[in-house]
Amino acid sequence: MPKVVLFLGAGASRAFDYPTTSEFVHNLTDSVSSEEKRILNSLIRAPTITDIEHVLQTLDPLIALASNSYVETIFNQSPPNIPLVDGSVYWRDFIRWCRSLKDTIISELHRQYEFDRTKLKKVTDAYDPVFGELSMSKDIQHIDVFTTNYDSVIEHYCTNGMKTYQFACGFVRDSRSGREFWNPEELGRWKLDKGFGIKLYKLHGSLDWRETDDNRIERVSTEERVSRATRRYKRNILIYPAQKNYVTEEPFRRLMKYFEEVLNQHDLCLVIGFSFRDPLINGTFLDFLGAERKRRLMVVSPNASTDVKNNLLGDNKKLEKQVICIDKPFGEPETFSLIFDTLEDKLIKAREEE
């Protein structure tokens, strides 16, 4: 069994009934107000807006534009009418509803991606074949798992599944308070004396991460959203869809650095359920492949081939042979067989000898 890095996108959690970014939009229908629904319905009528990331990518610049003092002055003096699918609305109301819709979306992200303990068996059934197979290799003492998902599926799998695994996620428990605080060095130095473990790197943050009033990052027991600053917490530590300029902030800067370093220590990365919509992560994958011809990405999702072609490689023909696509949903027995047959397959060995 070759050493492998595991990368999980939203499609990896689809097996446990978490919504995809496209399904998330449809799930909003019962949660938004009538005014917010008018904005949402108008946005999703556009052919280029198909999921929640597209919606937020459209809302953010509109809200930013309205915050510009010059625009605010001009539009307040002569408020324009903004056409919607069901009529028009004044600019001021339009922006107010856009802000409200964005706030509702963020609240729903927390609600819809909160861990459902009744799904633990599904999680165990899906990940036991993966980690069970990897843990049997004498050459693999731990596996590095990178994810853009906010949910706590892997944490619950490691600690509450049928087979528990030691794992590190960059947080260390304070002996005096019992609280867990971000200490990125823990990920770098964590080693196992025996057994098998998982290092988890949550590149976009987590539902249970908070920034404290003294500027530390704490991992808490609840996944509910902090809707406003409190005496203890300033904000949630999440990269919401459409926020792409996050590399300068902690903990995301350090997590991306680990991603680059760890990826470059391996020749194979198994990517499950990722659609390659993050330019920064895509750049890291392309650098990884371009550095050595023997390196491989194995991509597993129902639309793996399309996503790789349209979102990752484009017209880059030189790297095509280094990407192996399995166009199957994660969590099905047939998919597991294809993954592990390919890992041991002559296909990889033959390509390494090219």
DSSP assignment of 85-107 equals TTEEEEHHHHHHHHHHHHHHHHH
User: What is the DSSP track for 281-295?
Assistant: HHHHHHHHHHH-TT-
Question: Is residue 195 predicted with pLDDT exceeding 70?
Answer: no
Confidence of residue 296 (pLDDT cuts 50, 70, 90): very high
When pLDDT is averaged across residues 120-129 and rounded to a whole number, the result is 88
Nearest to 206 by CA among 109, 103, 331: 109
When pLDDT is averaged across residues 37-54 and rounded to a whole number, the result is 86
Question: Is residue 243 predicted with pLDDT exceeding 80?
Answer: no
Mean pLDDT of the chain: 84
Of 161-170, 189-198, 291-300, the poorest mean pLDDT is in 189-198
Question: Is residue 242 predicted with pLDDT exceeding 60?
Answer: no
pLDDT in the model for residue 246: 62
- Count of residues making up the chain: 354
When pLDDT is averaged across residues 299-322 and rounded to a whole number, the result is 92
CA 223, CA 277: separation in Å to the nearest integer?
A: 25
Confidence of residue 346 (pLDDT cuts 50, 70, 90): very low
Confidence of residue 223 (pLDDT cuts 50, 70, 90): low
Higher pLDDT, 306 or 49: 306
pLDDT in the model for residue 225: 58
Alpha helices (H) in 227-297, listed in sequence order: 252-263, 279-291
Question: Is residue 263 predicted with pLDDT exceeding 90?
Answer: yes
Q: Render pLDDT for 76-88 as a digit per residue (tens, 0 to 9).
A: 777 788 889 888 8
pLDDT in the model for residue 308: 96
| DSSP structural state of residue 180 | E
Confidence of residue 159 (pLDDT cuts 50, 70, 90): confident
Which long-range contacts link 191-196 to residues 24+ away (Cβ below 8 Å)? Answer: 191/141, 192/141, 192/142, 192/166, 195/165, 195/166, 196/131, 196/134, 196/135, 196/140, 196/141, 196/142, 196/143, 196/165, 196/166
Question: Is residue 226 predicted with pLDDT exceeding 70?
Answer: no
pLDDT in the model for residue 272: 95
Q: What is the pTM of this model?
A: 0.84
Domains and CATH numbers, the chain: 5-18+116-352 (3.40.50.1220), 21-112 (no CATH)
Three-class SS state of 270: strand
When pLDDT is averaged across residues 235-256 and rounded to a whole number, the result is 72
Question: Is residue 319 predicted with pLDDT exceeding 80?
Answer: yes
Q: What are phi and psi of 228, to 5 degrees?
A: -150, 160
Q: Which two tokens stand for residue 52?
A: 């929640």
Q: Above pLDDT 90, what percent of the chain?
A: 29
CA 274, CA 325: separation in Å to the nearest integer?
A: 12
CA 41, CA 80: separation in Å to the nearest integer?
A: 20
- Determine how many CB atoms are found less than 10 A away from the CB of residue 109: 20
CA 199, CA 212: separation in Å to the nearest integer?
A: 24
Three-class SS state of 32: coil
3-state helix, strand, coil in the chain (%, to 5): 45, 20, 35
Q: What are phi and psi of 164, to 5 degrees?
A: -90, 145
**Pairing of the two strands 197-202 and 142-147:** parallel
Measure Cα distances from 296 to 138, 270, 279, 305 in Å. 22, 9, 19, 14
Question: Is residue 230 predicted with pLDDT exceeding 70?
Answer: no
When pLDDT is averaged across residues 240-249 and rounded to a whole number, the result is 62
Q: Above pLDDT 70, what percent of the chain?
A: 88
The residue type found at 242 is A
Beta bridge partners of 121: none
When pLDDT is averaged across residues 25-29 and rounded to a whole number, the result is 85
Alpha helices (H) in the chain, listed in sequence order: 10-14, 21-27, 34-44, 52-67, 69-77, 91-112, 120-135, 153-160, 185-189, 252-263, 279-291, 304-307, 333-343, 346-352
When pLDDT is averaged across residues 303-328 and rounded to a whole number, the result is 92
